A and B are shown apart, each in its own frame.
Chain A
Amino acid sequence: MSIAPSTPTPVQSLVARPWLQLAVIWALLLTVPLWLPLLGGYTAIAARVVVFALAAMSLNLLLGFTGVLSFGHGAYFGLGAYGAGLFLKYVTASTPLAIVAGTLLAGVSGTLFGRLLVRRRGVYFAMVTIAFGQVCYYIAYKWDDFTGGYDGLRGFIRAPLDFGLFKIDIAASGVVFYFFVLFVFGLAVGLQALILRSPFGRTMLAIRENERRARFLGLPVERHIWLAFSISCFFTGLAGSLYALLNNFADPSALNYVMSGNIIMITVMGGMRTFWGPLLGAVLFVMLQDYVSSMTTNWMFFVGVTFVLVVLLFPRGLMGVLQKRLGA
Chain B
Amino acid sequence: MVTADDAAWHQRLETAGRWLARLLLGLAAVTLFAMLLLTCADVIGRYLLNAPVNGKTELTRFMMAGLIAATLPVIGVTGGHISVDLFDSRFSKRGAAIRDLVTDAIAASALAVLAYWLVFRADRLMNRGYVSDFLHLPLHPMAYFVAAMVGAAALALAIKLIIDIHYIRRPELRPDDRSAVL
Q: Decide whether A and B are members of one complex.
A: no
